[in-house]
Amino acid sequence: MILDFSVDDELCTRCRKCVDDCPSRIIEQKGNDLPFIPEDKEMYCIQCQHCLAVCPTAAVSIFGKNPYDSMAISYEKLPRLESMMRLVRGRRSVRQYKDENVDIELIRKLLHSLANAPSGVNSRKLTFRIIDNKAVIHRVREKVLAELQVAIEAGRIPDRLSYLMNAVPAYKDQGRDILFRNAPHALIISASPDAVCPNEDVTLALAYFELLAQSAGLGTVWWGMLKMLLESLPELKPLFGVPCDHVYYGMLFGLPAVSYLRAVQRDDAARIVRIE
């Protein structure tokens, strides 16, 4: 790993903020000299870029990143609590979608922003697998339903997953797509098994994506049926590009065909315990 850590002598005020805020405590500064990272400590960098982000004069660069290319952050530009509360309270699981592709540029923006979601020890060992075309998800649906039908006839689906067994007749006889919800797109996030906390990383990333997507006017729903399907028929994992040893979960999304006009009332849904 090449850190390419550099500090602009003319811009640096010697404030030591990069030194004090480094999570790995590997940045050093002697007297009025420029901050630096000793070669024998470079291996401990977790690539968080805190040093670049915290510098008040944009003097610090790492990994060859130009601080002036970073998005400027200030309290005035962040959503206020009221806006965030409205987003969280108004979030809905959407199960009705328009038969339209979402603009590919919007999907790209969402995924690039999502790459900034937190991960344990900043390991960032996630892979985003995206179905960004409704024609692809239609083809995958047909393949899945065919394989599921074979598995059902062979008695490979346990009785406890009766809901999964209903997917084929529901689609063929009633036109109800309980597997894919007729969504045009899907996001499957997987974490390498050597990630520090793969389950948490996947869940966090999907939660961030859900809020990003819904703030962009899209509908989302957590894809529990995918998990149920692939755990029952692991031979279908290659169809979704999911490695057998990865932790994973999915989310369906698209332009919603339903509108919710108000938030629900469930502030008492969680038990709150005050620790003293």
Residues 120 and 137: their CA atoms lie apart, in Å, by 31
48, 1 in Cβ contact below 8 A?
no
Residues 27 and 23: their CA atoms lie apart, in Å, by 10
The number of beta carbons lying within 10 Å of the beta carbon of residue 56 is 11
**Domain ranges (residues) in the chain:** 6-69, 92-254
* Residue (of 35, 48, 39) closest to 8 by Cα position: 35
The answer on pLDDT for 1 being more than 80 is no
Please give the pLDDT value at position 181: 96
Please give the pLDDT value at position 163: 84
pLDDT tens digits for range 242-272? 999 999 999 999 999 999 999 999 999 999 9
Full-model pTM: 0.93
Confidence of residue 160 (pLDDT cuts 50, 70, 90): confident
* Residue (of 102, 88, 90, 86) closest to 256 by Cα position: 102
> What CATH topology corresponds to 6-69?
Alpha-Beta Plaits (3.30.70)
The answer on pLDDT for 205 being more than 90 is yes
Tell me the average pLDDT across 228-238: 94
Confidence of residue 162 (pLDDT cuts 50, 70, 90): confident
Please give the pLDDT value at position 158: 84
Confidence of residue 175 (pLDDT cuts 50, 70, 90): very high
Q: Determine which of 104-108, 155-159, 227-231, 240-244 has the lowest per-residue pLDDT on average.
A: 155-159
The answer on pLDDT for 63 being more than 90 is yes
The answer on pLDDT for 168 being more than 90 is yes
Residues 197 and 121: their CA atoms lie apart, in Å, by 9
Please give the CATH superfamily to which domain 92-254 belongs.
NADH Oxidase (3.40.109.10)
Confidence of residue 165 (pLDDT cuts 50, 70, 90): confident
The answer on pLDDT for 220 being more than 90 is yes
Please give the pLDDT value at position 116: 96
> How many residues are listed for the chain in this entry?
276
Q: Is 20 helix (H, G, I), strand (E, B) or coil?
A: helix
DSSP letters for 155-206: T-S-GGGHHHHTHHHHHHHH---TTTTT-SEEEEEEE-TTSSSHHHHHHHHH
Counting Cα atoms < 13 Å in the Cβ hemisphere of 15 gives 14
